[in-house]
Structure 1
Amino acid sequence: MLRNLLILLFGCLAFVSCKTPEARPPIQRTSGSFIDESVERNKKIFELEKNQFLALMESNPENEYITSTNGFWYYYNKKDTISTVVPTLGDQVTFSYDLTYLNGEVLLSEEEIGIQDYIVDKTKQELISGIRDGIKLMKVGETITLFLPSYKAFGYYGIVNKLGANVPLQSKLTLISINQTQ
């Protein structure tokens, strides 16, 4: 009898101890309102920058402005209508560029930046995304002027002691050479 009671007791303990652990609710709950506010703020910033670009384009109607699928505008200063070769993934390109404010004031000159070498979409070189995307649109010898919204330039961070946050820029970009990889 005592033996049966012990078996029943151990059986009950084994059954009760097999309960799976339950997740505890988080101590602090967030509603996601910060993200929603950030999205709205960024939409307003983009709309202001877009209006600045449109006004700049209207004041210079002699250029043929193109809207990039990557979120910026550009026009050709010098265009190659014969060649069909554009940089692709892994190609090594040599180029030069400058960065100016929308009013034409120079932020970083072509001389300050120097000639750049870049392996398309493979190097961890610190290039702003607008320049990386602009290079892929070009042929050797072409020069384009890019109108870069702040999120395609230095965005929220800017450049320490040179450029504040969320400043749209323009850049004159020249593709010097393409060394294609197989």
Structure 2
Amino acid sequence: MKHNFLLFIVLLLLFSCGNKEARRPIVRKTTSFINESVSFNKSLIADEEKMFKVIMKRDSLSTYIASPNGFWYKYEKKDTTKYLPKFGDELTYTYEVYDINNSIIYTSQETGEQVYKVDQQEIIEGLRDGLKLMSEGDKFTFLFPSHKVFGYLGDQKKIDINQPLIYKVQLNKIKKKNENN
């Protein structure tokens, strides 16, 4: 009886371990979503560029410079110092944030004086790239497209999703990482 039971178990195990074919995953094509997303982003960038061109045309007394990083800027105050921030330098700056209608969103009192170690701390991409263009004492106005600032999330407070912004930044001090710079 014991022998028959063991034989039954062994046979059950042998036959139950047959070669079952695995189910194939269901493939869903997402190229249409990606294509729609790409075309939406292209049209968003084009619309923001048109808005910035209107702003630059209205401000005809100023010369705006196109950054290779995808934003525009102008000098409000240019210092004669030629030193530009490098990796690890500590920057002290203040800034104000405006919408494209030049209505203030954040004052310099609200944002306060900021300290940033170049490329060692997280700040918005546009500001990170813009500060590297400034010398100590400079004051710039930056026109940042939405993807260079808060993008599709906004700041969850005062800045909406996909909102292009104007930043007015004053670089107060550059503390060099080492004196060999």
TM class, shorter-length: 0.7 to 0.9
Match of 1:43 in 2: 42
- The AA in structure 2 aligned to 1:57 is M
Match of 2:167 in 1: 171
Match of 2:147 in 1: 151
Give structure 2 stretches of 5+ with no counterpart: 1-20
- The AA in structure 2 aligned to 1:168 is P
Match of 2:129 in 1: 133
1:30 and 2:29 matched = yes
- The AA in structure 1 aligned to 2:132 is K
Give the distance between the partners of 1:108 and 1:60, measured in 2 at CA. 22
Deviation of 1:25 (Å): 4.1
Match of 1:70 in 2: 69
Give the distance between the partners of 2:171 and 2:143, measured in 1 at CA. 17
Give the distance between the partners of 2:126 and 2:137, measured in 1 at CA. 19
Give structure 1 stretches of 5+ with no counterpart: 1-21
Are the structure 2 counterparts of residues 23 and 160 from structure 1 closer, same or farther at C-alpha, using a change threshold of 3 Å? same
Are the structure 2 counterparts of residues 23 and 30 from structure 1 closer, same or farther at C-alpha, using a change threshold of 3 Å? farther
1:114 to 103, 106, 112: 112
Give the distance between the partners of 1:31 and 1:173, measured in 2 at CA. 42
SS in 2 for 1:98: strand
Cα-to-partner distance string for 1:56-84 (whole Å, 9 max, x where unaligned): 1111110011000110000000012x321
Normalising by structure 1, we get a TM-score of 0.83
Are the structure 2 counterparts of residues 28 and 91 from structure 1 closer, same or farther at C-alpha, using a change threshold of 3 Å? same
Match of 2:94 in 1: 96
Normalising by structure 2, we get a TM-score of 0.83
Deviation of 1:36 (Å): 1.4
Cα-to-partner distance string for 1:95-116 (whole Å, 9 max, x where unaligned): 0101001111111111100000
Between Structure 1 and Structure 2, how many residues are aligned? 161
- The AA in structure 2 aligned to 1:118 is Y
Give the distance between the partners of 2:118 and 2:171, measured in 1 at CA. 12
Deviation of 1:164 (Å): 1.6
SS in 1 for 2:70: coil
